[in-house]
Amino acid sequence: MIDKVYMIPNPLASGEGVEINPEICNGCNQCVEVCRTGMLVPNPEKRKPPIVLYPEECWYGGCCVAECPLPGAIKMKFPLNQRIVVVWKRKDSGEHFRLGMLNPPPPNTRPPVG
């Protein structure tokens, strides 16, 4: 019998799932434990970031990012069609605003012209 088992990652598909920063990640593997799809696998080398084995299996739930104790060690890479950002600019002041921002400006209460 063969004593070794090999895991071979799939070639990168259009969706990557997550991006792990090896300078910040300490290899605690908490993201591997909470990943619902099993796309992350512990690295065989101690204190190394986990391996993204099946990136196309990601559900983009973000539990791995939320569970990570080190901010910036792992981040979601949403597909292009899910990266919707609504930004608007006020003509008189030039301020930029976006949906979901902290302390948004008060709503416009003026009636429409016309």
With CA atoms as reference, report the closest residue to 21 among 86, 74, 98.
74
Q: Hey, where are the domains in the chain?
A: 17-78
Is CATH 3.30.70.20 what the domain over 17-78 is classified as, yes or no?
yes
- pLDDT, residue 60, reads 87
80-to-43, 59, 63, 96 alpha-carbon distances in Å: 29, 14, 20, 22
pTM over 0.75: no
* Cα angle 46, 47, 52; round to 5: 90
With CA atoms as reference, report the closest residue to 14 among 65, 63, 58, 61.
58
Going residue by residue through the chain (114 aa), what tens digit of pLDDT does each one get? 567 777 666 665 556 788 999 999 999 999 999 999 888 999 999 999 999 888 888 888 889 999 999 999 999 888 777 766 677 787 888 887 777 777 777 777 888 886
- Token pair, residue 101, equals 């921002």
